[in-house]
Amino acid sequence: MQSRRPYKNTGSVHIKEVLHAIIGTCRKETHTDLDVIRRVWHSSFQAAITDNAQPSALKENILLITVKSSTVAHQLRFQLHDIIQKINQEMGHDRIGEIKLKTGNF
């Protein structure tokens, strides 16, 4: 019968650290832009808007905003031009060209 050598763990790393390192290298630039947009969103708009609508995705120059109800979507449609201007002004360049609204939960 063969004797088994005990496994010696010489340097263990928590899975959280491994995943953080991998995910950090896989993220696209748009995710960081979306994070900036979310910060601008919360600092530049009233709580009535930010409580009921959130930027949820960014693809090329299109920003997708998820809203809690069709009533909020209707209200935001009148402000889309101003929202685009405000976000682009805060980011320092014309990052957003169009906004699409989607009703759902966030």
Domain boundaries, the chain: 29-103
Radius of gyration of the chain (CA): 21
What is the average pLDDT score of the chain?
A: 87
Q: Tell if the pTM clears 0.95, that is, is over it.
A: no
45-69 residue pLDDT tens: 999 999 999 999 999 999 999 999 9
Classify domain 29-103 by CATH architecture: 2-Layer Sandwich (3.30)
Distance spanning both ends of the chain, measured CA to CA: 59
Q: How far apart are CA 85 and CA 51, in angstroms?
A: 21
Bridge partner residues of 34 (DSSP): none
Q: How far apart are CA 93 and CA 88, in angstroms?
A: 5
